[in-house]
Amino acid sequence: MSQPNRVSGVSAERLGVYDAIRLRRDVRAEYTGEPIDDDTLWRILDAAHRAPSVGNSQPWDFVVVREAATLRRFADHVAGKRTEFAAALPAERAATFAPIKIEGIVESGTGVVVTHDDRRGGPQVLGRASVPETGVYSTVLAIQNLWLAATAERIGVGWVSFYDPEFLSELVGLPAGIRPVAWLCVGPVREFQQVPDLERFGWRARRSLDEAVHRETFGG
Ligand SMILES: Cc1cc2nc3c(=O)[nH]c(=O)nc-3n(C[C@H](O)[C@H](O)[C@H](O)COP(=O)(O)O)c2cc1C
């Protein structure tokens, strides 16, 4: 790949896994406005659905949202949550936060609400007895599969978590016991940024791998 950060100008073939990991970004501002085509969307949902899961419980579901009115309603709700968050920040952080876009709900044209059902797999989920969170870890792995597969297709994904779960549950008609884990904005992009937005805008930088890797004990 001659221009690893650009979508245009690269070959049409899908990226390998390390390329996709390096290219992946949380996308907010770079959606083209064109909707993702159904075949591509199905391939990335298939990638999500192949994720590992505790006890093979497969506790996820995917609600694909494309109705303009629903996208607008969710975007308005998220705008309200953003205002609440900004109001709670000290002045200096509020100024840093102000130019940061936190969603591309309408522009992406497609939302994928990833949900979690803790009852999936029955009362004895093999492997979940000691660590109950392994259920939701599984759903998050499906999200990561989706994110990387989308990147390999040059499709952008942006994870939105500025919402009240009750609002989103009602918006997409989730039955009792099924909870939303993420709203993912999914759509074609002009380019992938090389540096995460939060780093570019001075909110928080990436840590080095040296800092994250420990030998034998955490203090080691
Ligand atoms: C659980 C989770 C929730 C997130 N929620 C939001 C969000 O509400 N709005 C947003 O703009 N980005 C959100 N992000 C994206 C992160 O800000 C982003 O992953 C991080 O800054 C690193 O950037 P990168 O994904 O481009 O490497 C979320 C990411 C995760 C994993």
Q: Regarding predicted confidence, which is higher, 2 or 217?
A: 217
- pLDDT grade, residue 13 (50/70/90)? confident
Q: Give burial (CB, 10 Å; 0-12/13-18/19+) of 170.
A: exposed
Q: So what's the pLDDT on residue 6? A: 45
Residue nearest to atom 11 of ligand 1 (CA): 102
- Neighbouring CB atoms inside 10 A of 169's CB total 18
Region of 77 on the Ramachandran plot (φ > 0 left; ψ -120 to 50 alpha; else beta): alpha
Task: State if residue 154 touches ligand 1 by the CB under 6 angstroms criterion.
Answer: no
Displacement of CA 164 from its chain's centroid (Å)? 16
CA distance to 16, 18, 66, 69, 157, per residue, from 26 (Å): 19, 17, 20, 24, 6
Task: State if residue 159 touches ligand 1 by the CB under 6 angstroms criterion.
Answer: yes
SS3 for 209? helix
SS3 for 147? helix
Task: State if residue 201 touches ligand 1 by the CB under 6 angstroms criterion.
Answer: no
Ligand 1 atom nearest the C-alpha of 203 is 21
Residue nearest to atom 28 of ligand 1 (CA): 159
* DSSP state at residue 189: B
Residue nearest to atom 14 of ligand 1 (CA): 159
Cα–Cα distance measured from residue 112 to residue 41, given in angstroms and rounded to the nearest whole number: 10
pLDDT in tens, 82-102: 999 999 999 999 999 999 999
Find the 128 Cα to ligand 1 centroid distance in Å.
27
- pLDDT grade, residue 206 (50/70/90)? very high
pLDDT in tens, 143-189: 999 999 999 999 999 999 999 999 999 999 999 999 999 999 999 99
Q: Which domains does the chain have, with CATH numbers?
A: 35-190 (3.40.109.10)
Cα–Cα distance measured from residue 191 to residue 173, given in angstroms and rounded to the nearest whole number: 34
For the chain, helix (H) and strand (E) counts, in that order, are 9, 4
